[in-house]
Amino acid sequence: EKGGYDYFMLKEIAEQPKAVADTLLGRIDEAGRLALDEVRIPDHVLREVNKVVIVACGTAYHAGMIAKYAIEHWTRIPCETELASEFRYRDPILDQRTLVVAISQSGETMDTLMALRHAREQGAKVLAICNTNGSTIPRESDAVLYTHAGPEVAVASTKAFLTQLVACYLVALYLGQVRGTKWGDEIHSVIRELSQISTEVEKVLATMEPVRELARSLADKDTVLFLGRHVGFPVALEGALKLKELAYMHAEGFAAGELKHGPIALIEEDLPVVVVVPSPRGRSVLHDKIVSNIQEIRARGARTIVIAEEGDETVVPYADHLVRIPATPTLLQPLVATVPLQVFACELATARGNEVDQPRNLAKSVTVE
């Protein structure tokens, strides 16, 4: 059942192009318009939404963090993303015009379920993004958009994450479409690129051997840091989470802009630092700032592992290891940038002799608070 792979996680990483394609299937019509039949919240209600609140835990929370950038940029509706376990205990402000999006692979995560129950009690509409048919979270929501990742067996989430991202983009684009905001050329080109993105994920997977080699060479390290900015920040957090849970290493993700506010003190000789570099074509200011961050940490001895778009030559002089990813629109980059981090963590876990599919102390779905 592992389909020839040593671990479910490897199989699930490899299945990502298909998972992404399946989640898009039938949801974008030939004219490039989105058709989301499963969303049962009527359009007139969505048109009235004045705030989006995303709740989730762990990896799903990272998908939600990325969704915030997309939703606000494409729809201009204020959006916040919060850990489900924090949300429900702080008396959040919700009403009938709030759309709450609950993201959960299993559909059974207790904190997320409690958050959505709380939201519905306050009159908010709840849309679930879920991978498990008929599970509790979609059953208790007003609407559901299923991710079609197929069953995810490995405890560490991989293909579910990519499909959660796709679902979040679809929700953002759909909201934009229904409300007519920013429904211009940019949106059409994003839809076009999104519908092709599984091929790009495939391309990344085909180039992972050097990443595996690099991971093996770092097996005796204690700490790895991850830096990112904009949507690259949640990607950095996700890379760090994968490494903690699989390799049992100290791993932290930072917003690169925060370096000087503290984390730079951690940089020392030979410390591996993974940096997710935004596209030089999109928000080029951010790109240039990250490049100077890479220079700064390298000057202090860090071993830089740079994830950058093909054709981005500015990073070459400062990268001890360079991982290339295909060019994508800025907001979609997490779909390709996360893959090397998954492979990296999986290979490091293997090199350290850890149980990849069943990391210590973890359960696939956390049904207690």
- Give 130 or 275: the residue with its C-beta nearer to ligand F6R: 130
- Give 155 or 187: the residue with its C-beta nearer to ligand F6R: 155
Candidates 106, 177, 304, 328; binder of ligand F6R (CB under 6 A) is 106
- 172 vs 162: CA distance, rounded Å: 15
Based on the shown chain and the rule CB under 6 A, indicate whether residue 60 belongs to the binding site for ligand F6R: yes
Number of neighbours of residue 163 by Cβ within 10 angstroms: 28
Helix (H) or strand (E) holding 293: helix 284-299
- Measured from the CB of residue 137, what is the shortest distance to ligand F6R in angstroms? 8
Based on the shown chain and the rule CB under 6 A, indicate whether residue 85 belongs to the binding site for ligand F6R: no
- 102 vs 162: CA distance, rounded Å: 16
- 289 vs 104: CA distance, rounded Å: 34
- In the range 151-190, which residues lie near ligand F6R by CB under 6 A? 156-157
- Measured from the CB of residue 348, what is the shortest distance to ligand F6R in angstroms? 15
Based on the shown chain and the rule CB under 6 A, indicate whether residue 112 belongs to the binding site for ligand F6R: yes
Helix (H) or strand (E) holding 19: helix 16-24
Candidates 23, 105, 279, 304; binder of ligand F6R (CB under 6 A) is 105
Query: For residue 265, what are its two tokens?
Result: 């003190």
- 60 vs 83: CA distance, rounded Å: 9
- 339 vs 205: CA distance, rounded Å: 7
- Give 170 or 290: the residue with its C-beta nearer to ligand F6R: 170
Based on the shown chain and the rule CB under 6 A, indicate whether residue 366 belongs to the binding site for ligand F6R: yes
Q: What is the 8-class DSSP label of residue 34?
A: B
Q: By Cβ distance, which residue is nearest to ligand F6R?
A: 58
Candidates 17-25, 53-61, 227-235, 294-302 — which segment interacts with ligand F6R by CB under 6 A?
53-61
- 263 vs 260: CA distance, rounded Å: 7
Based on the shown chain and the rule CB under 6 A, indicate whether residue 109 belongs to the binding site for ligand F6R: yes
Q: What is the 8-class DSSP label of residue 320?
A: S
Candidates 16, 23, 59, 330; binder of ligand F6R (CB under 6 A) is 59
- Measured from the CB of residue 246, what is the shortest distance to ligand F6R in angstroms? 8
- 289 vs 79: CA distance, rounded Å: 25
Selected catalytic residue, list 182, 203, 244, 364: 364
Instruction: Based on the residue annotation, tell me whether 364 is a catalytic residue of this protein.
Output: yes
**Closest CA relative to residue 176, chosen from 330, 44, 71, 100:** 71
Residues labelled catalytic: 364
Residue numbers of the site for ligand F6R (CB under 6 A)? 57-60, 104-106, 109, 112, 156-157, 241, 245, 365-366
